[in-house]
Structure 1
């Protein structure tokens, strides 16, 4: 009995010892998994691990010295290196580069080779090498031997090639990010990223909770889902843009009960919206199946996903109204359903939103659908937390309801491109203190507020194009100090531009005030603005062009009243687009334009420029000067002179060139075919060019538009025109042509400028304006020159031609027999030449023809009939001036025409023979009358002439008599 207390005490001591042991182990575990900050105090790191890190750095390319702290004995203080608090082992290596996906374009990243010396870090649990540039390198296989890893991020570091299956050895891995989406490398070449042909290695990662394989090519793997289904504790699965080929309808036994985030976007699965396996994952909180071409009605299964917080169904072909059981989604915060075919009333859609989540709903993103009707005048349940409302690009009508002004959390209101009308007052906007973006463009909304109204919000984007703001300049804009994007184009403003506007717009990056009646001058302080894009076109701005903002890339000042010369210093070295047509700019073209090495589109047409085009090669030898970037150049309708600009030799990317309606002279240089090999559009009409068409011009294989009309070009058409593939076959460079007609960045964010509206083409007998469709125009116009010879048969190979004009030249011979091969030609003009022979019967095969002119030639014979020839307007005028033609539509009957004599050469030779006899006869008669009149009035000349004739007669008589006597004597002998 006495030992009982001792036993109890011993038991208690044992329990305390066990507890201390467990606490020590827990503390040890905690210390091992925690890591020191690089700046923490510690005596030193493990020497062997320091050596491994130094060997790792030696294999890297670190030109910007991103790792300057990697020196000294204590590696735990180095940048990106984290050590255990207790053991001083390196447990974490975080060398993530700058996130250029969020706008950071810094090139301060690591590159080179990833050394296997990392294997010396036996305790490494965290490795992040993302956002670097291991260009064209494969993911190293040895990473699969870092068995202690819990976290591995290799995303967006430009790896390529096969993903090593050795990663399946990382059985402790909880986080794996292999997002190596397709990218464009530094040298602008395209790389396809990484791929895998077998992902069974994933099934061994039994601890995995987060898997991101965005952009990894999995196109060869059909049965990918059973492998993923083995990851029973997976919470996040991101398989966007993986080229997946299938999406099973269901899983017999789903292990993905913990899955909360699923991204299958951009796989283009092209299947019915239901059945699909993911509709059964009722634990999902975030589902993205956008850009997959799912079709059919909106699935009713959506209503079963009661845990869903964010649902993205965008860019599919789902039709009808959203399902009524959407009301079950009481946790819904964000709904993205853009670019589908919701074809119902907007009021009905609002009624189907879950009432139980209306206080939670934050983003409603429904642009590019077929929503109709008016917005509801009232809401049963207010959307108190709504921050995004985007209903743009639909078919909404009616007024903007006042309840919009009650959405106090609203930061983005986008209703552009509908049929909304009515008036928006201060009551719509006065309580939107959080608003950052107001986009109402392309509606008929009038914004009517007091001139003294001060907006409650500081907006960053205002887009009100085609709304009604005028006639006075909207004064409420002066209070917007943080604007980045402002569009008040076509808003009926008829006012002088106030000085305060330039202050308010000083921080704007994209500024558009085009198509108003705004007067005034561009400010001298314009160079201090931050704009990247400016469109002031179609106004009444006057004065000279000031120095431009240094950040500016795109400027459109066309259709204004600008005067004075072009600036000697534009002040915008990165300028890419400069459009100044339809102004009154005078003087010469300055050499400062040649300093704009990024300039791609330049239009100075319809001004008063004179002199020769400045030659940038004056101060720089042609061998040292770098090429210009220009792809579109127009000097049309000025008073420029001199020879074809030699500057263009430094424009190898030129696609559009228009020098028409100037006073350029001289012969066309042969270097055009070599130096301007990218040309597709060449217009030189109405100048004074002379000489022959250089044969080298036919080296321009992409040429699809050539206009040399109204010059003094002589010689014949080269037969090598058959090499113009832009006219012989359908062009495949429409993307390049469209880019040449647009401004702004290549990411597609910027809208096309109005430059395409500046194209006119003389076709079908009249000048026509062309806009974007100019890229489809195939034209050959050589009219009003001095060209001679026959029209070559090779012209019939230019089967893509829509307009062919060879009129007012000196072509002879016959019309090519194969002219009927030009099946796409809409306008054909061969008038005012010396063409002869019969009209080819193949002409009736031109079913696209709407205008034909063969007048004033020497054609003869019966006019062919049939097909499109019978539908042409004013048919008689087509053939006037050809007296040898007969048959309908002419009144001349072919039976009354004289039959041609067999064997005689009719046509052109017959016409020449008639002309010869007429000339000989008239000359004979004229000669007789001259002699007769002379002898009639000059007696002395008449006596002398007859005396001479008598003497000549006597001499001839004697000579004949003597010769005859001598001949007879020889015969008798």
Structure 2
């Protein structure tokens, strides 16, 4: 047999290797395979595939020109198109958009229709259309005809409707991602956001769904399946189908509305499964037994917020390969089991918002002592006791420790400083006390987040100490930092979120602090005693939310940071005018109340097209605000977006502001305590159709209440007190259904305050703390409950006529005040229909007739005033009327009233002269009168003689007479002064 030359043998081996490599390239299915095919060096493409791609592009909308390179015949060089260097066929189409978040704020997406011309790419192995906006089409059925497809990603592209079962024909598929965007299955609507009477409609994405997933069983090569947020709520037996996928490694089914989770599988084929995500479903069953505890090869398990209840199961210890275990937001109770010690590969444990209700020290000792735990989340777990005094070995590698919202007590131990890998420490909302000093912090070189808010912890470090870390998050709310500014903050130049509110700082802002603040995006120094002025360079800061309220900052308000969305500078000492240019075009919330800002409101206010909440109350603003004209060129046709506007307690003047015609979304309006004048315009009821809360008290408005005002069907709070309003109450007030009907959403008023809520460390700073309501004769501060106030206050005006019977239909009223007007005639007989009313004031009018007996039906009544009218007859009794304080003062000034609680009784009917009763004779009557007269004379002489001889009694009598005279004189004088004041007003 002839020998084969060695070089020939080597060449043959090389040829065989090349052939095998080519075969591998064709058959390999992982994403990395396609990296072998970058934009090809081929200069031309297969003609049919070019046509298919161009027809596909023709059906798309491409506002960002993502496909601008798709021209010419070299399709293998087009963006997102990859060809095989061996065959020239298009094998990969990667057109992923940025709808999933690009990180740079840009949005580059495709939309429109997906043409079936794509079927011309029969060699396609990889297709990625994820993160686009195909929000009006279903996933095309022809997708199931790409028989060579191994990778299909349609995630977060806003497809709608049913998932086509034809996808089951993709028998070579190894990666399938159908993740749907989070969606709403209900109409999201707030009254006032879309004004009534408009044709504007909002479309909301309703996602994709499947009622039968048996087609999945045909994908026998599938390794990765993601159906996050897909509605599978009607499918009961989903697990047997999934169990047929023997090669499956990753299964993601979060938020799929699944309701069933079998206790076990008779024969589990999911031996290759490493990742299982079931969070956000509706299982509502005991934590054990459950089929997934037996998956010994599982490395990642997430059953967060899935309704599991009962004790932590011992079966947890079976998952010896587990690396990450997420159990948070279920109803698990009791201490974690000792079997947890078996999880020696565990790196992350999340069990927040379960009810462990045990000792923190015991829990630490239940963890695997030789574990590699790096992240531990136990927030809101009812953990008790003090942190152990020595370091538990299980925590030594900790990088993230979250023990917030528990019941921990005692000091923060020194061993925290031994966690040299720690990046995040969260101890918020406990009962910890004591001090943290350099010994706790000096070795934490990697620390990035320090969250200690809502404890009684003091940070006591030397003013010269330089921390070894550079923090991004500093949350120390309600701790002890002051009285001086903490100098160690000077070195924290990378801070993104800073909360040092309520930390007893009583100091002037140092210059270096504003340098530190330049990078902060979420900034809270609320409720300290910080002095100084805002920097002139404030406009160059990075802030998005700033809360500087309740301090003593002075000086003028500078131009604002360009990215600012929310600013609270209320309760400070700001002076001077508002800036001519605010400088924050995206500003949504601006709170400046309780300062000393003066001057006029600049017309540049109209440039803040995104502004939802504006409160300039309790300042020294003056002049007219009509410079912000309705037809100003800087406003667009859609008008302003203001929902909540308060200008009360200033010196503003002029007529009712015209610019409000542009505020069609307005729900809350307070112009009280100013010097506005003129008649109330009729357009209020037409342009401000969403208005729920209108307060105009203490101005100089005059004229009639416009009938158009009663077109405000959502109106639930109307205060026109202390003006010069005349005429009568329109009977059409019955149209204000906000005062007649109960609505759970409080007519959108609650939404008007959403933009006044700033998010801070586990606490909402509620803007409604600035709202005062005059009710029951007192001005009270209302917070969140103001949205439930239903009030009508027309007091201290010049209204005339009778109180219309229609007032009795406003059955949701909590307070009704019509005092100090000129109302006459009778009180409406059906006044008792106002069953919710707590305060009723009809005093100082000219009302006559009897008090309706239905008044006793007002069982919620706690304050009533009917004084100084012309009422007569017997005072009604019963129910709540018997419990009112100082009852006699309720009816004072009505001489025709009688009966309890008044001191004089109603007289009996008088006898008709000449009429006899019974058998009484004239002699009997004469004898009765003679006896009565004699008794009167004798009694008078007895009293007179007693006073004559008893000096002490005589002095007491005259003293009593003097006091009664003084009291009567004061009462007459006060009444007369009140009458004159009303007449002059």
TM-score (norm 1): 0.87
Residues 282-304 of structure 1, C-alpha deviations (whole Å, 9 max, x = no match)? 32221111122323332332232
For 1:332, the equivalent position in structure 2 comes to: 346
CA distance in 2, matches of 1:864, 1:300: 70
Higher relative contact order (CA 8 A, sep 6+): 2
Once the two structures are TM-superposed, the CA of residue 379 in structure 1 deviates from its matched residue by: 2.5
Q: Residue 560 of structure 1 corresponds to which residue in structure 2?
A: 572
Is 1:213 matched with 2:227? Answer: yes
Q: How many angstroms does 1:466 deviate by?
A: 1.0
Cα deviation per residue 1:588-611 (whole Å; 9 max; x = unaligned)? Answer: 111111111111111111111111
Q: Give, in angstroms, the shift of residue 706 of structure 1.
A: 0.9
Which of 420, 436, 440 in structure 2 is aligned with 1:424? 436
Matched, 1:676 2:676: no
Q: Is the 8 A contact 2:680 2:706 kept in 1?
A: yes
1:792/1:392 CA distance change after superposition, 3 Å: same
Corresponding residue for 1:351? 365
Q: Aligned residue for 1:381?
A: 393
The equivalent residue for 1:960 is none
Matched position secondary structure for 2:755: coil
Cα distance, 1:59 vs structure 2: 2.4
Cα separation, 1, equivalents of 2:813 and 2:395: 59
Q: Is contact 2:40-2:83 (8 Å) kept?
A: no
- Among 270, 280, 294, the residue aligned to 2:294: 280
Unaligned runs of 5+ residues in structure 1 are 902-973
Deviation at 1:624, TM superposition (A): 6.0
Pick one of 240, 243, 249 that aligns with 2:254: 240
For the 8 Å contact 2:97–2:110, the answer to whether it is kept is yes
Cα distance between partner residues in 2 of 1:698 and 1:145: 63
Task: Show CA shifts across 1:627-663 (max 9, x none).
Answer: 0011111110111111111110000011110000011
State yes or no: 1:107 paired with 2:82.
no
Match of 1:342, SS?
A: coil
Distance 1:668 1:161 in 2: 51
Partner of 1:289: 303
Q: Does 1:528 align with 2:522?
A: no
2:805 corresponds in structure 1 to: 793
Confirm whether residue 28 of structure 1 aligns to residue 34 of structure 2: no
Q: Distance in 2 between matches of 1:735 and 1:86?
A: 67
Do the aligned residues in 1 keep the contact of 2:598 with 2:620 (CA within 8 Å)?
A: yes
SS at match of 1:818: helix
**Pairing 1:583-598 to 2, within 5 Å after superposition:** 583-598=595-610
Q: Deviations over 1:469-518 (max 9, x none)?
A: 11111111111111111111111111111111111111111111111111
Q: Does 1:838 align with 2:832?
A: no
1:253 aligns with 2:267: yes
Deviation at 1:307, TM superposition (A): 2.1
Distance 1:643 1:243 in 2: 56
Matches within 5 A, 1:59-138: 59-98=59-98, 100-101=100-101, 103-138=103-138
Separation in 1, partners of 2:417, 2:854? 69
Q: Deviations over 1:127-164 (max 9, x none)?
A: 11111111211111111000001110000111111111
Cα distance in structure 1, aligned partners of 2:261 and 2:766: 45
- Does the 8 A contact of 2:758 with 2:765 survive in 1? no
Aligned mates of 1:517, 1:670 — CA distance in 2? 46
- Correspondent of 1:486 among 484, 491, 498: 498
- Asked if the contact 2:310–2:333 (Cα under 8 Å) also holds between the matched residues in 1, the reply is yes
Equivalent pairs counted in the alignment come to 892
State the Cα RMSD in Å.
2.8
Q: Secondary structure at the match of 1:452?
A: coil
Distance in 1, matches of 2:56 and 2:673, equals 66
TM-score norm. by structure 2 comes to 0.86
Once the 2 structures are TM-superposed, how far is the Cα of residue 789 of structure 1 from its aligned partner?
A: 1.9
Contact 1:31 1:84 in 2 (8 A): no
Pairwise CA distance, 1:622: 11
Is the Cα–Cα contact under 8 Å of residues 717 and 791 in structure 1 kept in the other structure? Answer: yes
Which residue in 1 is equivalent to 2:282? 268
Does 1:574 pair with 2:575? no
Q: Following the alignment from structure 2 to structure 1, what is the Cα–Cα distance between the partners of residues 432 and 377?
A: 18
Which sits farther off after the overlay, 340-349 or 464-473?
Answer: 340-349
Inter-CA distance 155–747: structure 2 relative to 1 (3 Å threshold): farther
Greater CA radius of gyration, 1 or 2?
Answer: 1
In structure 2, how many angstroms separate the alpha carbons of the residues matched to 1:794 and 1:321? 62
Distance, in Å, in 1 between the alignment partners of 2:342 and 2:8 is: 56
Aligned-residue offset at 1:342: 2.3
- Counterpart-to-counterpart distance in 2, 1:749 and 1:424: 19
**Alpha-carbon distance in structure 2 between the residues aligned to 1:879 and 1:71:** 90
Structure 1 residues 14 and 620: CA distance shift in structure 2, 3 A: closer
1:341 is matched with 355
CA contact (8 A) 2:476 2:499 kept: yes
Give the 3 Å change call, closer, same or farther, for CA 891–744 of structure 1 in structure 2.
closer
| Matched position secondary structure for 1:586 | strand
Aligned-residue offset at 1:680: 0.9
Counterpart CA distance in 1 for 2:498 and 2:736 is 45
SS at match of 2:398: coil
Corresponding residue of 1:615:
627
Separation in structure 2 between the aligned mates of residue 532 and residue 716 of structure 1, nearest angstrom? 49
Correspondence 1:661 to 2:711:
no
CA 1:110–1:854: 2 relative to 1, 3 Å: same
Q: Secondary structure at the match of 1:64?
A: coil
Query: Could you report, residue by residue, the CA deviation over 1:216-257 in whole angstroms, capped at 9, with x for unpaired residues?
Result: 111222222221121122111111111123222332332222
* Conserved? CA contact 2:99–2:108, under 8 Å: no
C-alpha distance in 1 between matches for 2:662 and 2:484: 47
Alignment-derived partner of residue 767 in structure 1: 779
Deviates more, 1:525-534 or 1:878-887: 878-887
Residue aligning to 1:937: none
Q: Which deviates the most, 630-639 or 806-815?
A: 806-815
Q: Which deviates more from structure 2 when the two are superposed, residues 863-872 or residues 116-125?
A: 863-872
CA 1:219 to 1:569, structure 2 compared with 1: closer, same or farther past 3 Å? same
Q: Which residue of 1 aligns with 2:657?
A: 645
Q: How far apart, in 2, do the equivalents of 1:721 and 1:843 lie?
A: 21
Q: Which residue matches 2:211?
A: 197
